[in-house]
Amino acid sequence: MNTVTKVAVCSRSFSNNTILRNELLQKYQNVTFNDKGLQLKGDSLVSFLSGHEKAITALEVLDEYVLSKLPELKVIGKYGVGLDMIDMSAMRKYGKKLGWTGGVNRRSVSELVIAFAISMLRNIPQANREVISGAWRQHVGGYLSGRTVGIIGCGHIGKDLTKLLKVFGCNILVNDIQDYSDFYSENDLSSVTIEHLLENSDIVTLHVPLNDNTRNILDSSKLSLMKSTAILINTARGELVDETALKQCLKENRIAAAAFDVFAVEPPKDQELLSLPNFLATPHIGGSAAEAILAMGRSAILGLDENYIPSFT
């Protein structure tokens, strides 16, 4: 056990998980947990991390300002798979090391996508609200089986999702800037332009990281390409989609439905969007399966010891 190195755990869900706490304390004795459930950002994040040599972070933003104020901090163990909240150039500038493993929550997210798809195809959210209000009418929905599903981003989650969709006999279209041609051929997938994918998919699901190239990847012009019967699913990052344009599409039935687990601002403020009968919102629960939480936590713990100065942006 390391009794000298000071470790800070910013993540509230990690701090609340008895198994992860015990496993971390078996390796490091001097640990500060976020037991007050603080939402850490800016100066409050600097204050919490100050004096610690290693840290486990989740959705906390580690920008140039924060990193410049923490000379003692040497290592970040990343809890979760998204890296858009960490300024990689600042990490390199200040010599900070990153411990991160991609895809550890893939099954948790891909199963949520399946749940979203079936829920919206069968009008489950709307039917549930009607029953609660006293109405009783049958909604005629449709199968997921045999549908054309467009996956934008075929990394860890996109690949895992294809395995689940194949059970339903779905026709799968994929779009990614990376060359995954071997995976495509092995799984009978069609690699297409994003325009072709949007025009021909019954369900479109996003699985790309947020960066300057993907921000608003689905703006009003791209959303206009989708079928009026199509469903849009976003379990990646909120800023990938122009939410104002999406709201108009849903209100005017230019897109049949949408299900989002992530938003540009969390929690979301647009009550008009949230209250639409053809929109389903969840509070960023993509990785919140018990199995995924343990996998992400253990990856973050490992990252405290196995890490590197990031060479990518």
Q: What is the 3-state secondary structure (H, E, C) of the chain?
A: CEEEEEEEECCHHHHCCHHHHHHHHHHEEEEEECCCCCCCCCHHHHHHHCCCCEEEECCCCECHHHHHCCCCCCEEEECCCCCCCECHHHHHHCCCEEECCCCCCHHHHHHHHHHHHHHHHCCHHHHHHHHHHCCCCCCCCCCCCCCEEEEECCCHHHHHHHHHHHHCCCEEEEECCCCCHHHHHHCCCEECCHHHHHHHCCEEEECCCCCCCCCCCECHHHHCCCCCCCEEEECCCHHHECHHHHHHHHHCCCCCEEEECCCCCCCCCCHHHHCCCCEEECCCCCCCCHHHHHHHHHHHHHHCCCCECCCCC
Catalytic residue flag (residue 237): yes
- Percent of the chain's residues with pLDDT above 90: 89
Query: Cα(131)–Cα(19) distance, rounded to whole angstroms?
Result: 39
Q: What is the pLDDT of residue 272?
A: 97
pLDDT > 60? residue 297? yes
Residue-level pLDDT at 313: 52
Is 60 annotated as catalytic?
A: no
From 237, 239, 243, 254, the catalytic residue? 237
Q: Contact, 298 vs 291, CB < 8 A?
A: no
Q: Average pLDDT, stretch 100-123? A: 94
pLDDT confidence of residue 312: 56
Per-residue pLDDT tens for 199-236? 999 999 999 999 899 999 999 999 999 999 999 999 99
- Please check the confidence at residue 1 and state whether its pLDDT lies above 60: yes
- Please tell me which residue in 64, 266, 291, 306 is annotated as part of the active site: 266
To the query of whether residue 266 is one of the catalytic residues in this protein, the response is: yes
Q: Which token pair is 294?
A: 């343990």
pLDDT > 70 in the chain, percent:
99
Predicted TM-score (pTM) above 0.75: yes
